[in-house]
Amino acid sequence: MNLIIASDHAGLPLKCDLIPWLLERLGLTATDLGPSSSDSVDYPDFAGYLCRNLLDGNAERGILICNSGIGMSISANRYPGVRAALCLFPEMAFYARHHNNANVLILAGGLTAPFLAREIATIFLREEFDGGRHSRRTDKVESVSQANFR
């Protein structure tokens, strides 16, 4: 599986911990979209980089990390076709995949210990979508995200 990952400056420490662990333990190919320093950056820019890459078919799944996870969640879910889920616990990652077919995992770098982020990411990357009745629901979400509301 190809994976893309990005953060803002607050999510950088967790991202730097997570990438080598994912490559070594899960044998994934990962592309780091930045940033590479702790200089202040704007999270919507990095959410956008990741979402556009995902929608262009450059990866099957993505991971975004900011301090609380909220900003990245809001930003990523603005892109039709992106189903980003903020997961604070492993069970949330399980349901994000099985019931919601989430394709972007959002982690809260300021709230999530590295050992817990590794467990959440592992579940998110290994689990599959259940389909069935859940497809009907995810299709409705997708149709709403593509509609023009005023």
**What are the residue numbers of the active site?**
66, 99
- Among residues 86, 105, 101, 94, the alpha carbon closest in space to that of 134 is found at 101
Residue 75 vs residues 28, 33, 134: alpha-carbon distances, Å = 25, 16, 24
Which sign, positive or negative, has the C-alpha torsion 55, 30, 1, 105?
negative
Q: In what order do the strands lie in the sheet with 29-32?
A: 29-32, 2-7, 61-66, 104-108, 84-86
Return d(Cα 41, Cα 37) in angstroms, integer: 9
Task: Find the helix or strand (DSSP H, E) in which 65 lies.
Answer: strand 61-66
Q: Which residue is listed with tokens 């689990």?
A: 127
